[in-house]
Amino acid sequence: MKIDLYQVDAFASKPFEGNPAAVCPLEAWLDDALLQAIAAENNLSETAFFVPTEAGYHLRWFTPSVEVDLCGHATLAAAWVVFHALGVVAEAVAFETRSGVLTVRRESDTLVMDFPAKTLAPLNMHAEVAAALGGIEIEELLISDDIVVVVEEASVIDRLAPDMQRLKQLPGRGVAVTAKGDDVDFVSRWFGPKVGVEEDPVTGSAHTSLAPYWAARLSKQALTARQGGARLGTLICVLEGERVMIKGCVAPYLTGQITLPENASLR
């Protein structure tokens, strides 16, 4: 059995930027254990798998450790594969996912994801979160799917030295640390050791919380964002009611095939 595999860099203008994702188009679902094994073997923050449906595609995302409910950069990567590798001629593609139907449309050289905007609530764990992030000063602490840590200076984000074991003890999926930017509206880094990703270079799904927060704070609906530590990626986020449009470019990197035993089982 051979499975096509595409590795692309999402939220990137060229290879080696943004966040790498693997994408595997399937004709039918493989066993979950096999999907997880492929994701672990790829050893990227996410591997996306999709199968065709009458309305579009059913899309799932796996880290090296677990299946996740929402992933932005691998959705962007999957849409790029549909449009460019599979040659689907359409202005938009619809993915059925654990988080509902997500659409991605073309806009010039970028792809635009239509995601639900998330609401943040205050979190009273300043001491625990500060310690897990190396003793930083926290300006504001909030939570939705992720803990959102707001700091006063972008330079704090560059110097972060998180304790991954302590981060695992905190609530939520992961921890996003964010600050107002200089050449962009806001910057961030995201850590998710609980889901098998110590640091994700560019986390599209985190911006479903970050974009509404900064839109309200900066009094603007369209924002530019940059995420990452050693590896950086850029996004444009536009608030439209209870949705957030997350825009980015994709850079292709690798095309190949996975070879599996002939008796690999299908559901």
What residue ranges define each of the domains in the chain, with the CATH number in brackets?
Answer: 2-109+249-259 (3.10.310.10), 121-247 (3.10.310.10)
The strand pairing partners of 2, in sequence order, are 259
pLDDT of residue 39: 97
pLDDT of residue 265: 61
Distance CA(167)–CA(134), nearest Å, equals: 11
Asked about 96 being catalytic, the answer comes back as no
Distance CA(119)–CA(216), nearest Å, equals: 11
pLDDT of residue 262: 79
- Active-site position among 27, 46, 107, 242: 46
pLDDT of residue 267: 52
As averages over each run of 10 residues, the pLDDT of the chain (267 residues) reads: 97 96 97 96 97 96 96 97 96 96 95 96 97 97 97 95 97 97 97 94 95 98 95 96 96 96 68
On whether the CB atoms of residues 179 and 220 are closer than 8 A, the answer is no
Distance CA(82)–CA(86), nearest Å, equals: 5
pLDDT of residue 263: 73
pLDDT of residue 17: 95
Distance CA(137)–CA(122), nearest Å, equals: 16
Task: Choose among 181, 221, 211: nearest CA to 116.
Answer: 211
Give me the half-sphere count of Cα atoms (radius 13 Å) on the Cβ side of residue 50.
29
Distance CA(97)–CA(55), nearest Å, equals: 12
